[in-house]
């Protein structure tokens, strides 16, 4: 019995040693031709906001890592109880019918407009999150209905 424990412990330690010495890239870090890390800019997503007097609102985004002509997907998310678990906790889930494709222009900017009804912003304090996602960049912003 003692021999089995020693053998098992030795095999475990050998496995740990081998795995610790192998290259394990946890993140895909962009590098140039010389192997140097490429530092990129961060996307910027802004809005002028939305009030109860507004019928719609526009979100503006600058994607420094995108290419002109890239198609980004914009979608509104809202805290909701999931349909598959009516007794569950609130989760940030997509609102049906809010997915829109937007194209990045020559200045690496894009925008999307939603009506208050589309975004389900009915009462003061209601909040949604708008996310942009694409092959080359992404962005996110929270929007709250103001008085």
Residue-range domain boundaries for the chain: 44-146
> Residue 25's pLDDT band (boundaries 50, 70, 90)?
low
Rounded Cα distance, 120 and 125, in Å:
12
Q: For residue 109, give the nearest of 143, 135, 139 by alpha carbon.
A: 139
Q: Is 31:68 a contact under the CB 8 Å cutoff? A: no
The predicted-structure confidence for 78-91, as pLDDT tens digits, reads as follows: 998 888 888 888 89
Q: What is the pLDDT of residue 26?
A: 67
> Whole-model pTM?
0.73
pLDDT tens by residue, 2-21? 888 888 888 888 888 877 77
And the tokens for 35?
Answer: 């192997």
Strands (E) across the chain are located at 44-47, 50-51, 56-62, 71-80, 91-94, 100-103, 109-115, 127-133, 138-146
Chain segment 89-111, per-residue pLDDT in tens:
889 999 999 999 999 999 999 99
| CATH architecture, domain defined by 44-146 | Sandwich (2.60)
Pairing of strands 138-146, 50-51: parallel
């Amino acid at each position: 019995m003692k021999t089995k424990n020693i053998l098992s412990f030795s095999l475990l330690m050998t496995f740990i040693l081998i795995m610790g010495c192998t290259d394990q890239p946890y993140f895909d870090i962009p590098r140039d031709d010389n192997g140097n890390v490429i530092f990129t800019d961060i996307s910027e997503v802004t809005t002028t906001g939305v009030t109860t007097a507004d019928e719609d609102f526009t979100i503006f985004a600058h994607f420094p890592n995108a290419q002109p002509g890239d198609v980004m997907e914009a979608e509104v998310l809202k805290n909701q109880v999931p349909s598959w678990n009516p007794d569950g906790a609130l989760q940030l889930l997509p609102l049906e019918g809010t997915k829109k494709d937007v194209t990045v222009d020559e200045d690496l900017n894009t925008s999307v407009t939603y009506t208050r009804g589309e975004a389900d912003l009915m009462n003061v304090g209601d909040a949604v999150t708008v996310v942009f996602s694409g092959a080359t960049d992404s962005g996110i912003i929270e929007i709250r209905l103001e008085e």
